[in-house]
């Protein structure tokens, strides 16, 4: 078997891994949907029941996501190695001819998907307006804008609407799902907080600051979670 044939087989394996990754990502989305559905179904249940059941599906979604990342990394590495070996029929590593010129082909540009909206505003717009159209403000003075909702169902509805158009990112230090939009705005979902413990699904929003000629404008943030008092009344 020639070196080029080995390269072709490695490329085929990389393609198979990439196809498998696509299916794994679909499984991740289904697991996340199942988690959201269960969170809504258990809305108003005891904290330990809600946290335990939703937590299991959250861990499952995270595990599936990690498998997809590994498959993507391995596929990329195999493809790079195969390209170094060359194509079928080449006994040595393929080297492009210095005198040959490839015809210029038009590059297809895919427009970024539109950002999701909740009550007519994008995630960025909600952050910049302090979340005025999401639930109600938390009582007392806070270091950041905090909005309260009455139920887990509404929180998941807000999250699913506003994350449209964002890309899921690997954020090891964030214990949850972290999404980023092309403009830099981020929206993230976690199932716990310091104030509410393990049964406090929370949304974290941030709009990056801008660098002016003299100083850097700090980023703007917004936190959204369920009103603990309202939940206590329903249990």
User: What percent of the chain is predicted at pLDDT more than 90?
Assistant: 29
Where does the pLDDT of residue 134 fall: very low under 50, low under 70, confident under 90, or very high at 90 and above?
A: very high
Q: What is the pLDDT of residue 87?
A: 55
Widest CA span of the chain, in angstroms?
77
β 177-180/186-190 pair status: antiparallel
For range 99-124, the mean pLDDT: 72
Contact indicator for 85, 6 with CB cutoff of 8 Å = yes
- Determine the 3-state secondary structure of 75 from DSSP: helix
Q: What are the tens digits of pLDDT across the range 58-92?
A: 777 777 877 777 777 887 887 887 777 765 544 44
Higher pLDDT, 42 or 13: 13
Q: What is the pLDDT of residue 95?
A: 42
Q: How far apart are CA 96 and CA 3, in angstroms?
A: 17
Q: What are the tens digits of pLDDT across the range 154-183?
A: 999 999 999 999 999 988 889 889 999 999
User: What is the distance of C-alpha 213 from the center of its chain?
Assistant: 33
Q: Is the pTM of this model over 0.75?
A: no
- Please provide the average confidence, as pLDDT, over all residues in the chain: 78
Q: What is the pLDDT of residue 137?
A: 92
């Amino acid at each position: 078997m020639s070196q080029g044939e080995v390269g072709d087989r490695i490329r085929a394996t990389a393609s198979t891994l990439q196809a498998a990754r696509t299916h794994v990502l679909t499984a991740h989305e289904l697991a996340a949907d199942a988690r959201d559905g269960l969170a809504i179904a258990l809305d108003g249940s005891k904290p330990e029941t809600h946290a335990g059941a939703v937590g299991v599906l959250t861990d499952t979604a995270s595990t599936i996501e990690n498998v997809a990342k590994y498959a993507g990394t391995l596929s990329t590495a195999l493809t790079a190695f195969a390209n170094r070996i060359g194509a079928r029929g080449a006994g040595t590593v393929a080297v492009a001819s210095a005198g040959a010129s490839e015809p210029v082909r038009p590059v297809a540009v895919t427009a970024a998907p539109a950002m999701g909206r909740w009550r007519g505003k994008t995630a960025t717009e909600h952050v910049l307006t302090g979340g005025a159209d999401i639930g109600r403000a938390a009582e007392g003075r806070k270091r950041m804008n905090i909005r309260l909702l009455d139920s887990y169902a509404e929180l998941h509805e807000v999250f699913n609407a506003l994350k449209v158009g964002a890309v899921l990112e690997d954020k090891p230090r964030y214990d949850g799902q972290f999404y980023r939009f092309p403009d830099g705005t981020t929206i993230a979902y976690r199932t716990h907080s310091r104030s509410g413990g393990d049964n406090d699904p929370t949304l974290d929003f941030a709009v990056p600051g801008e660098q002016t000629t003299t100083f850097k404008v700090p980023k703007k943030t917004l936190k959204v979670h369920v009103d603990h008092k309202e939940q206590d009344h329903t249990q």
